[in-house]
Amino acid sequence: MNRKMNTENMNEKFNEFFYEAFESNTYKVGKRPWWQILVLTIIVMFLYFFFTLPSLSPQSFDFYKTIIIGIIVYWVLHALFGKQLKSSKGLKSSIVAIILLIAIPFLGTLISSPFFFSKQYAELIEINSSDFAKDIEQVSINQVPVVDREAARVIGEKQMGSMGELVSQFNVANKYSQVNIAGKPIRVSPLEYYDIIKYFTNNQSGIQHYVSVDMTSQDGDLTKLDEAIFYSESDILFRDLNRHIRFQFPFSILGESNFEIDDNGKAWYVTPVLHKPIFFFGGLDAKGAIITDANTGKSTYYKRDEVPSWVDRVNPAEVIISQLNSYGKYNRGFWNSVFSQKNVTSTTEGYNYISLGEDIYLTTGVTSVRSDESNLGFYYVNLRTKETKFYPVPSATETAAMKSARGKVQEKNYEPTFPVILNLGGRPVYFMSLKDQSLTAKMFALVDAEQFTDVIVGDNVQETISKYFDINPEVSSDSNVFEDEKITVEKISEVVVNGNTIYYLSVKENNNIYVIVPEELDNRVHFIQANDKLNIQSSLQLEKDEFKQFKIVKIEY
């Protein structure tokens, strides 16, 4: 009986609240029918979508938030401008709908958690163990990256400052994406409009330049595009890049757009398309990418295995790191990750990128959750294909290597960059730049990954790597540092040694001698003639006074 009376009292109170809020005309400006209120709601929600750009994918929390806001906006507008309602059923139904819209993603996320789907979380990324010395090509001197994002920004600003006619109209966008251009690691960033006034002054001609920074030589360049950029993050309204892509793909979950330059020097934006593959709300993975022409704004969606080879990044780094950690945590089940923690691993505190061949790889260390003093090995992840390999190389952590390098030059107060792991003579070695307070690389350091107290510093990359081989003769006796060059053959001589033909080349660019062993290359070397131009990769064989002899290990004709 009391319960029935309480229910009746609650209904009476709700009806009083409903009348005061939605039926009383005290504060109403006019009485408009429901369909006009609906039109006003649609207009308000379009403005909300225009400025906030939420994803309308049912896998995104933004989708549910947007609907909830739409319902609230409708009833607020109705309270201000609408006609009196004869029943409170509509409002009650809306409240129930809001509760459901909150409950669905909350419960869905809970059910999709690793507690129920630990195996699926561990399988978000496929990892294969491999041999570091065999898989990772030995480093070429002019492929060693010495510029990180901070240093690239400083170099880019200096380059921009030298262009007087542009510096008052544009800034350099703080992108500095790492890409491969003609096989070299480069950081690129477009210009952006200085402010709204400069935008209206220059938007008709677009953004015609981008800054590139060679990560190996620290050289900066302001490059003019053949086709100007008309869609960028500094544009406004429908030429704003993020808005332009969102309106083309409203039902997709989008990652951060990456500025890239293709092999023909054309500007593009590559935007990862994400989804949640575990019970609708669990996990996060890239299923493809949207490639947008920065000039025309035309966008094309590609599945991950169909993305053009010139694209360097499809998989966001933060998604990859999350998947690697899920694999390390849940590959033996959820309860193991909580209690015994047998073979539970995680990535180290940071990560870096390295160019191998035509692709960019994310590299990071792997450590046990029970001990963060040493690494169990390294992950290499191709950011385009997501091919992932684990190299079981016990070593010091990147943080420990940075401390060792910092201690070696402590009197100079240089700060090391986060290291990249290189292959020198089949051994993993941490390489890092040592920057002064202006963020410019002044020296370079190598730290043996397995013996992190062995620290070598030098004023340039060649000197630093040469010191490493001097200190480790057992490594340098079998292999050496490779160097890429462009040469023009001046003279070629043929010598037969123990029945094997060997060619000796003199070139026009320098006084060095280059040796070719045909049986180690291919039959095309027999047709090399004077004045031929070759792209080669070579290693130093002999050095005496000013004489140097190099062995050619690779030729591009």
Instruction: Please give the pLDDT value at position 475.
Output: 61
Judgement on whether residues 447 and 355 belong to the same structural domain of the protein: yes
Report the relative pairing of strands 285-293 and 299-303 from DSSP bridges.
antiparallel
Structural domain total, the chain: 4
Q: What is the CATH number of the domain that holds 515?
A: 2.40.50.140
Judgement on whether residues 251 and 381 belong to the same structural domain of the protein: no
Judgement on whether residues 370 and 432 belong to the same structural domain of the protein: yes
Show the beta-strand stretches assigned E in 334-481. 345-347, 352-356, 359-368, 374-375, 377-382, 388-391, 395-396, 415-416, 420-424, 427-435, 441-448, 455-458
Judgement on whether residues 95 and 136 belong to the same structural domain of the protein: no
Q: DSSP for 132-148?
A: HHHHSPPPBGGG-----
Q: Which domain holds residue 170?
A: 145-314
Flag whether 291 is in a domain: yes
Show the beta-strand stretches assigned E in 134-219. 170-172, 177-181, 184-193, 207-214
Judgement on whether residues 155 and 248 belong to the same structural domain of the protein: yes
Judgement on whether residues 203 and 288 belong to the same structural domain of the protein: yes
φ, ψ (nearest 5 deg) of residue 389: -130, 145
Q: What are 216-232's pLDDT values in tens digits?
A: 888 888 889 999 999 99
Instruction: Please give the pLDDT value at position 34.
Output: 81
Residue where a domain stops, chosen among 272, 294, 314: 314
Judgement on whether residues 389 and 271 belong to the same structural domain of the protein: no
pTM of the model: 0.79
Judgement on whether residues 268 and 151 belong to the same structural domain of the protein: yes
Measured torsion, CA atoms of residues 373, 377, 383, 388, in degrees rounded to the nearest 10: -140
Report the relative pairing of strands 184-193 and 207-214 from DSSP bridges.
antiparallel
Instruction: Please give the pLDDT value at position 26.
Output: 42
Q: Is the pLDDT of residue 27 over 50?
A: no
Cα 198 to Cα 173: distance, rounded to the nearest angstrom = 15
Judgement on whether residues 226 and 297 belong to the same structural domain of the protein: yes
Flag whether 361 is in a domain: yes
Flag whether 11 is in a domain: no
Judgement on whether residues 381 and 301 belong to the same structural domain of the protein: no
Q: What are 53-68's pLDDT values in tens digits?
A: 999 999 999 999 999 9
Buried b (16+ CB within 10 A) or exposed e, 517-548: ebeeeeeebeebeeeeebebbbbbeeeeeeee
Cα 170-175-181 angle, rounded to 5 deg: 105
Flag whether 4 is in a domain: no
Q: Name 5's Cβ contacts closer than 8 Å, sequence gap at least 6.
A: none
Judgement on whether residues 158 and 282 belong to the same structural domain of the protein: yes
Judgement on whether residues 369 and 507 belong to the same structural domain of the protein: no
Instruction: Please give the pLDDT value at position 451.
Output: 79
Cα 315 to Cα 514: distance, rounded to the nearest angstrom = 41
Q: Is the pLDDT of residue 137 over 80?
A: no
Position 132 confidence tier, pLDDT thresholds 50, 70, 90: confident
Q: What is the mean pLDDT of the chain?
A: 86
Share of the chain above pLDDT 70, in %: 89
Q: What are 36-57's pLDDT values in tens digits?
A: 899 999 999 999 999 999 999 9
Q: Which residues pair with 390 in a beta bridge?
A: 129, 379
Q: What are 324-379's pLDDT values in tens digits?
A: 999 999 999 999 988 888 889 999 988 999 888 788 999 999 998 876 678 889 99
